[in-house]
Amino acid sequence: MSLRQKLQAVGPGILFAGAAIGVSHLVQSTRAGAAYGFDLVWAVVLVLLFKYPFFEFAHRYTVATGESLLEGYLRQGRWALRAFMIVVLISSFITLAAVTVVTAGLACSLLGLSWSIARVSVGLLLCMGLLLIGGRYGLLDRLMKVMVLILGFLTLVAVWTAFRHGPAGDPQATHPAIFSKVGVTFLLALMGWMPAPLEIATWSSLWVLEKGKQQKQAPSMSQALVDYNLGYLSTTILALAFISFGALVMFGTGVEFSPQATVFSGQLVEMFTGTLGYWSHWVIVTMAFITMFSTTMTALDGYARTLAVGLRLSAGREVVRGRRDYVLYLTLLAVAASLVLFFFVASMKTLVDVVTVLAFLTAPLVAVLNFRAVRGANMPAAHRPGRWLTVLSWAGLIFLVGFGLLWVAIRWLL
């Protein structure tokens, strides 16, 4: 198969990258570098390695069976799908609120607005909902390919420039203990969304099906895996870039990130402009805003699709491929996220940490369901995971469960 044929299927993997390169990278990775220097790089590398197979299984299962991962959960028993949907129902509107408040902060920085962050967030959600209802999948597909490419280029240029200048702060500065209550909680928050919460694997599955419908031809396994690996590689490179950027520009300077969305956004932009020069100010703030806007819109689309399909399947009803359920859940998500924002808008940091820790603690359940799906009786033997991917999956399960138990022990028992 030629490179051109493989790249024709590129889309769901880039949408995955667009969903991932948001709060986990712009916020959490940069905070990790700023607070701990390079001492948390090992955690980022390990979690990216151990989560790899569970995201890959979404593409693998969907292409091999022609059905969504949600249907793969249902094949394991209605309990499996219902357990997953409970996780989605709890996390969806909180997650959407967390990414929206960051986007709103960047919007205020970009436009110089002094409006309430909550009101700006509601306005953004309304705008995104209208775009999704009108533009559908094709809009997301085209937008993400451009945004991921441009943001990646600017970020790598900024990091390279920072490396050339050397650390801005004292490289011998100390940081809080990693294996303490505060340290392990932040560690789980960092890894919970690195590169993304595991539950969004179902989004990739639904996007693969949608891509096939748009092209009137299902992608081959080779095409699907090229698409996935391209997206995952993008998230990996940028995760390491952002943690390096935070370490080089803020660690040891005595400056800490603000918990308020508008102030944090200004600090993030100033990190870039201080490295690249003031000429880059409007370029950086515009690109950061567009990246978070598209990330938030992707989250709104992904959760609405998951709820529309998953709740019907878990209730034993036939899946309707029309737009009614999608629009209904998209509207309900936007309203629920808006309500959360009015309560937590004063502290973006608290909201982000709560939802990211929750994502890590529920990750083992999703990982087990994905692993069982690709080893099910309906999965063609030729497309089941090979030996190395199976070993990596077991190692990943041990890693996710082990760190979750470590957090419980340090946070509540010691």
pLDDT of the residue at 4? 59
Q: Which residues, 6+ apart, have CB-to-CB distance to 254 below 8 Å?
A: 169
Q: Which amino acid is at 274?
A: G
Kindly indicate the confidence band of residue 322, based on its pLDDT and cuts at 50, 70 and 90: low
Out of 7-16, 213-222, 255-264, 375-384, give the one with best mean pLDDT: 375-384
Kindly indicate the confidence band of residue 146, based on its pLDDT and cuts at 50, 70 and 90: confident
Kindly indicate the confidence band of residue 3, based on its pLDDT and cuts at 50, 70 and 90: low
Q: Please give the domain boundaries of the chain with CATH numbers for all domains.
A: 3-413 (1.20.1740.10)
**What distance in Å separates the CA atoms of residue 1 and residue 284, rounded to the nearest whole number?**
38
Return the percentage of the chain with pLDDT > 90, whole number: 25
Q: Mean pLDDT over all residues of the chain? A: 83
Kindly indicate the confidence band of residue 135, based on its pLDDT and cuts at 50, 70 and 90: low
362-382 pLDDT per residue, tens: 889 999 999 999 999 999 999
- Any long-range contacts for 278-281 (C-beta under 8 Å, 24+ apart)? 280/154
φ, ψ (nearest 5 deg) of residue 318? -70, 140
